[in-house]
Amino acid sequence: MSTPLLGEMSPAEAESVYFNEYPPPKTLPRHEALARAFIDLHVEAHRRVVLVTSGGTTVPLEAQTVRFIDNFSAGTRGATSAEYFLEQGYAVIFLHRQYSLLPYSRHYSHSTNCFLDFMDEAPAAADSSNPGHGPIMVRDEYQDQMRSVLRKYRYAKQNNRLLLLPFTTVSEYMFELRSIAKLMQPLGPDALFYLAAAVSDFFIPRSRMAEHKIQSSELPEHMRGSAISSDEIYTGENEENPSSNSRKLVINLDPVPKFLHQLVDGWAPEGSMVVSFKLETDPSLLVYKARTALQRYSHHLVIGNLLSTRKWEVVFITPDEPHERWLRVPKSRRSKSISGAEDQVGLAEAKKGNPSTLEEVEAQQVNETSRDGIEIESLIIPELVKLHTKMIEKKTQPAQ
Ligand code: 9Z3
């Protein structure tokens, strides 16, 4: 009998099999200690705490990893959302893919916003002892924006409102998520989970993973380990006449167990709010898949987004009325996006004729002061906070 896939087991069985297969990440004890102290502080202050997950996960192909599968996410959604949560008074645990975008520094990082472009060397003072070395300054045109970002960043740091915890692989992400969710128990309804990370759906179980770098050329017989057998040479599923001896690689992936079940039904505090994201590329599937996820895991909100329009529109799928609600950045305030496709905005809307113009009017009021594009997260987070507040009020008010 073949061993069942994790996806075929009960959620509890899959949890125990999955977590027994991997050693916990080396950083876990340190992260747990940091998270515990952070949570204690905010429980004491009766402050709400949100766990924001952000960025992609890697799927290693070898235990001593040379190669891995990755995905597109740079962590823009997570890093931007974290800033708006902080603005709303939440403390934020930011569980992010290492080297992905971070709250605040995201404005000045990576090649699109390289910090060096914001700086200049000013002339040295006339009486300077070193006339060739003027002070390094922020360029005039960026002073206001940078001051504002810097102040918010320093406020979050000095007041211990933001905890940054990095992960890299999908299994590290799972271990961290489970531990932090359990540590959040004392927060009860004040805990919010905002699962924006793009978590791989597939992985190679440790038991089937090559220890060493997978070889791309034939090794002499006596040097071959158990790394990869010749019948595992990939021929490619789209090839009509696959050549049997090409040096291709079969990558045989198992489904990652859907831990949302375990999060909602066990790890997360009683009464807390769980928000997951659903990403699709086919507009005709988005609402259906988001609804199905909400029904399957019985949590509180699925935020659906299309890869091509994710910077300008999202849909809130809720168990309560109105079930499907679109938030959209008005046309005139959309930021430019190289990878985005504006002509696809509106295509995924199931109930056509939704009053999306309402959101557009609100959006204009929200951010009238900004001349630049509006970030969709500035619409998402206040709406979400309203839903969280309602949930907290329901849980904490005695039944009439
Ligand atoms: C999202 O849908 C996020 O909004 C994005 C953000 C990953 C699209 P960026 O980093 O992108 O700002 O460029 N995240 C969740 C995607 C996901 O993996 N969801 C799972 C699924 O769709 C469910 S938890 O099955």
Residues 318, 381 contacting (CB under 8 angstroms): no
Give the position, in ligand 1's atom list, of the atom nearest the Cα of 278.
22
Q: Which of 181, 177, 171 is nearest to 266 (CA)?
A: 181
Give the position, in ligand 1's atom list, of the atom nearest the Cα of 310.
8
Residue 76 forms part of a structural domain: yes
Q: How many domains does the chain have?
A: 1
Digit-coded pLDDT (tens) for 5-43 = 776 788 888 888 889 988 899 999 999 999 999 999 999
**Protein residue whose Cα sits closest to atom 18 of ligand 1:** 198
Residue 24: is the preceding peptide bond cis (ω within 30°)?
no
Q: Which residues contact 54 (CB under 8 A, 6 or more apart)?
A: 73, 75, 77, 78, 79, 81, 82, 94, 95, 96, 97, 100, 101, 196, 197
Helix (H, G, I), strand (E, B) or coil at 140: helix
Query: Which two tokens mark 151?
Result: 């102040």
Residues 271, 38 contacting (CB under 8 angstroms): no
Residue 82 forms part of a structural domain: yes
Q: Which residue among 310, 316, 327 has the greatest number of ligand 1 atoms within 8 angstroms of its CB, and so is best to mutate?
A: 310
Digit-coded pLDDT (tens) for 58-79 = 999 999 999 999 999 999 999 9
pLDDT beyond 50 at 1: no
Q: How far is the CA of 218 from the centre of ligand 1 (A)?
A: 39
Q: Which of 340, 369, 364, 331 is nearest to 145 (CA)?
A: 369
Residue 328 forms part of a structural domain: yes
Q: How far is the CA of 278 from the centre of ligand 1 (A)?
A: 6
Residues 380, 303 contacting (CB under 8 angstroms): yes
Residue 225 forms part of a structural domain: no
Strand ranges of the sheet holding 162-167, from the earlier edge strand across to the other edge: 162-167, 91-97, 49-54, 191-195, 273-280, 301-306, 313-317, 324-328
Q: How far is the CA of 56 from the centre of ligand 1 (A)?
A: 8
Q: What is the DSSP letter of 264?
A: I
pLDDT beyond 60 at 226: no
Q: Number of C-alpha atoms within 13 angstroms, CB side, residue 22?
A: 23
Relative to beta strand 191-195, strand 273-280 is parallel
Residue 331 forms part of a structural domain: yes
pLDDT beyond 70 at 240: no
Q: Number of C-alpha atoms within 13 angstroms, CB side, residue 347?
A: 18
> What is the domain range of residue 63?
27-109+149-200+257-396
**Protein residue whose Cα sits closest to atom 16 of ligand 1:** 198
Residue 114 forms part of a structural domain: no
196 C-beta closer than 6 A to ligand 1? yes
Question: Residue 349 to residues 66, 248, 315, 346, 365: CA-CA distances in angstroms?
Answer: 42, 41, 8, 6, 24
Q: Which residues contact 272 (CB under 8 A, 6 or more apart)?
A: 184, 187, 188, 189, 190, 191, 192, 193
Instruction: Report the predicted TM-score, pTM, of the whole model to 2 decimal places.
Output: 0.90
Query: Which two tokens mark 315?
Result: 């849909």
303 C-beta closer than 6 A to ligand 1? no
195 C-beta closer than 6 A to ligand 1? yes
Q: How far is the CA of 197 from the centre of ligand 1 (A)?
A: 6
Q: Which of 211, 213, 212, 217 is nearest to 230 (CA)?
A: 217
In sequence order, the β-bridge partners of residue 306 are: 280
Question: Residue 54 to residues 88, 270, 322: CA-CA distances in angstroms?
Answer: 19, 24, 28
Q: Percent of the chain having pLDDT more than 70?
A: 86
- pLDDT classification of 249: cutoffs 50, 70, 90: confident
Digit-coded pLDDT (tens) for 122-170 = 999 888 888 888 999 999 999 999 999 999 999 999 999 999 999 999 9
pLDDT beyond 60 at 100: yes
**Count of CB atoms situated within 10 Å of the CB of 195:** 22
CA distance 191 to 269: 7
Q: What are phi and psi of 116, to 5 degrees?
A: -65, -30
Q: How far is the CA of 283 from the centre of ligand 1 (A)?
A: 15
CATH number at residue 195: 3.40.50.10300
Residue 77 forms part of a structural domain: yes
Alpha-carbon dihedral 199, 28, 64, 232, rounded to 10 degrees: -40
pLDDT beyond 70 at 253: yes
Residue 219 forms part of a structural domain: no
73 C-beta closer than 6 A to ligand 1? yes
**Count of CB atoms situated within 10 Å of the CB of 318:** 15
Alpha-carbon dihedral 261, 267, 271, 272, rounded to 10 degrees: -90
- pLDDT classification of 47: cutoffs 50, 70, 90: very high
Residues 103, 82 contacting (CB under 8 angstroms): yes
Query: Whose structure tokens read 């927060």?
Result: 187
Question: Residue 358 to residues 78, 86, 342, 354, 370: CA-CA distances in angstroms?
Answer: 25, 26, 19, 9, 19
